[in-house]
Structure 1
Amino acid sequence: MKNTISLLSILVCCFWGCKKDTPATTTTATTTTTTGSTGTTTSTFFAKGADVSWLTQMEASNYKFYNSSGTQQDCMQLLKDKGMNAIRLRVWVNPTDGWCNTADLVVKAKRASALGMKIMIDFHYSDSWADPSKQTKPAAWVNLDFNTLITTVHDYTQSVMNTLKANNITPDWVQVGNETNDGMLWENGRASTNMANFAKLVSAGYQAVKEVSSTTQVIVHISNGYDNSLFRWMFDGLKSNGAKWDIIGMSLYPTASNWQTYNTQCLTNMNDMVSRYSTPVMICEVGFAASDATTAKAFLTDLISKTKSISNGNGLGVFYWEPEAYNWMNYGLGAFDQSGKPTVALDAFAN
């Protein structure tokens, strides 16, 4: 996920360095069976999606969206018409302004479900942005002892899942934490100082998801998809501490000068994750300068192709982070132009 306040946090990944990404080969997603850290999973679907968590807030500020002909259109429908088949939504525990709380999450998830789109839920376990530079506990959780914190993570995750279920929504994927390069819920869950604690928190979220929906796939998500040493450090540590996950999630935010190198490195990393942990991989976030849409399309086309090329269908999908954000929060890595129309970048999702 991106921090709206600081574009720098898109490019700088805590003490682990910068984000960037990977180039291409071609395959199509077919029905495959994959043995992951918790058993066997089957995939017949390649996710081409977008995180649109800002959408209701933008609409409340009178933002509108238009197709290439200039006709006003519902944003999710527009993205579906561009070839997307999945929506990713973040959830915060108790945000000050209410946006991205559980109720707002349900509103957006119901809209995506009504369009027949698959859904990913991204738990930040915070009242606001959680990313490599900050993993701040929700205010209500600050004074909890660690055992109570584990229980609270479980119960909160289960509550959100049950609320979705009561609204006839079963997420296809759930992220237990967002860009957890150094764990989450600091300081208790900071991975560099206590990997075992982080593993317990991941396991608490995992268990809660599965208790509500055994078919939902659980993702552990970190940024810098090109950085194989970071991923090995993290997932070796989680594995040795008994954590469970179904999918390894990555972020990738390159620039015009390095996207090809980063795409190549990301593909190498994805293949290594599949081989090393018998776990499928997914690109949960990408973004590129909206002002350079032609290069963005080349980057995305290449990355989607590379992800599809992973053996036995173990590359599960690619999600663009907040493509609809135009003239909004000073965010410049969307994929809509200043008039509210999608740029050519999104043409990469057509095939």
Structure 2
Amino acid sequence: MKKIKTLWMGFILLCCLTTTSCNNDDKPTFPETEETNDPTGGYDMTGFVRGADVSWLTEMEASGRKFYDSKGKERECMELLRELGMNAIRLRVWVDPENGWCSKEDVIAKAWRAHNLGYRLMIDFHYSDEWADPLDQFKPVAWEDHSVEQLLEDISSHTKDVLSALKNLGINVEWVQVGNETHSGMLFPDGKTDTQTGSENFAKMITAGYDAVKEIYPEAQVIVHLDQGNDAYLYNKIFDGLSENGGKWDIIGMSLYPGEEPSKDNNLTEWNEIDKYGKTWQQLNKDCIANMQALISKYNTKVMMCEIGIPWNYDEAEAFYTDFMTKAKKVEGCLGVFAWEPQCYAGWNGYQKGMFNDEGYPMNSLNAFKR
């Protein structure tokens, strides 16, 4: 299976490094930097970050998913998102995923496409073979029996390997996440922050990632990312611990998903707009912005919303995004906002918080990401 996976991912990369798409001559082409003086296509890709995590994109395309503009014309997804206001792309990377998606090779394929469209780029290391989130911080299989010292070397080697591959292609990486939604630590149980030793290990792990990033991309900004951006207590607890134990970071990253999430087995079809604490999205936005301002002041750091989302068919979706973007732009020290997998539609992998409708057309909520 590994040989098949390697050949398949190599084919995807080869397709994305050519001037045409993999399907046929009628599909959009990807501009090559050697053939144009302006890979941005004339769009302003500077300033406040208006980003999209599109890590599922190659898998969606391989499954036959297509994307359309508001007039019904089939479009290449990243090119369409740029037209709709996005100026940055975020991509997650897993160590050795079973099916090859979000592997180093898959990340390179997507990063190359983003680079050739003039996008700014964030790489999101999960340090896992699969999803890393607050409750699930599984070690990669190859690292399972490693000591803490070995894990630190694993983090460093993996980070440098992926980033070196990108740099060798001339792709600039502006931001790097070391860990994903690490509000309880990472690489459980060694880096779980429920003990003093675990907190110390977590800080060492973050620092190992930080130092590795700086070795390859000295100018890249390193992000430590937590979920629940409205929870000030959570952020102070983790970043106090990192400070006390010598952890390094440049930017505090956040996630924000309003509403009460149903169990994973019902595909988010019973989403409740009021969260389990009785708060509306308006209150969560307000709390999150206040948390940003307090963190900037306390830790003398920048902040960024690395993931944000709400159900695509919620009648206040555009109002939610617009409210948050408007407020975030006024926070001195907030660098920008990334929507998470906005290109998802028709319940892709059970995810209902994209920004396209069930036919693959962009929704009005994307208006919030226009300059």
Same fold by TM-score greater than 0.5: yes
1:315 maps to which residue?
334
Pair 1:238-2:242 in alignment? yes
Match of 1:286 among 287, 304, 308: 308
- Note the 1:168-187 alignment, pairs <5 A: 168-187=170-189
The Cα of 1:191 is off from its aligned counterpart by 1.5
Query: How many residues matched?
Result: 305
Pair 1:162-2:164 in alignment? yes
SS of residue paired to 1:329:
helix
Whole-angstrom distance in 2 between the partners of 1:149 and 1:203: 12
Match of 1:272 among 282, 286, 294: 294
Q: Computing the radius of gyration over CA atoms, which structure comes out larger, 1 or 2?
A: 2
Match of 2:319 among 298, 320, 336: 298
The Cα of 1:167 is off from its aligned counterpart by 1.4
- Note the 1:216-227 alignment, pairs <5 A: 216-227=220-231
SS of residue paired to 2:58:
helix
When structure 1 is superposed on structure 2, of 322-331 and 270-279 the one drifting more is: 322-331
Whole-angstrom distance in 1 between the partners of 2:216 and 2:104: 16
Higher RCO (CA-CA < 8 Å; seq separation 6+) = 1
Whole-angstrom distance in 2 between the partners of 1:46 and 1:259: 22
The code of the aligned residue for 1:289 comes to P
Whole-angstrom distance in 2 between the partners of 1:235 and 1:306: 24
1:46-65 superposed Cα distances (whole Å, 9 cap, x missing partner):
11011000000000011100
SS of residue paired to 1:290:
coil
1:83 maps to which residue?
85
Tell me the C-alpha RMSD between the 2 structures. Answer: 0.9
2:351 maps to which residue?
331
Whole-angstrom distance in 1 between the partners of 2:291 and 2:55: 28
1:349 maps to which residue?
369
Whole-angstrom distance in 1 between the partners of 2:189 and 2:75: 44
The code of the aligned residue for 1:297 comes to E
1:148-176 superposed Cα distances (whole Å, 9 cap, x missing partner):
11111111111111011111112110000
SS of residue paired to 2:293:
helix
When structure 1 is superposed on structure 2, of 68-77 and 324-333 the one drifting more is: 324-333
When structure 1 is superposed on structure 2, of 253-262 and 114-123 the one drifting more is: 253-262
1:30 maps to which residue?
none
1:118 maps to which residue?
120
Pair 1:73-2:75 in alignment? yes
Runs of 4+ in structure 1 off by over 3 angstroms are none
When structure 1 is superposed on structure 2, of 243-252 and 320-329 the one drifting more is: 320-329
1:271-327 superposed Cα distances (whole Å, 9 cap, x missing partner):
0100000001000000101111x411111111111111113xx11000000011112
The Cα of 1:45 is off from its aligned counterpart by 2.2
TM-score by length of structure 1 reads: 0.86
The Cα of 1:71 is off from its aligned counterpart by 0.2
Identity of aligned residues (%): 51
The code of the aligned residue for 1:158 comes to K
- Note the 1:210-221 alignment, pairs <5 A: 210-221=214-225
Whole-angstrom distance in 1 between the partners of 2:154 and 2:63: 34
Whole-angstrom distance in 2 between the partners of 1:165 and 1:264: 39
The Cα of 1:90 is off from its aligned counterpart by 0.2
2:53 maps to which residue?
51
SS of residue paired to 2:252:
strand
Whole-angstrom distance in 2 between the partners of 1:56 and 1:341: 18
TM-score by length of structure 2 reads: 0.81
The Cα of 1:198 is off from its aligned counterpart by 0.1
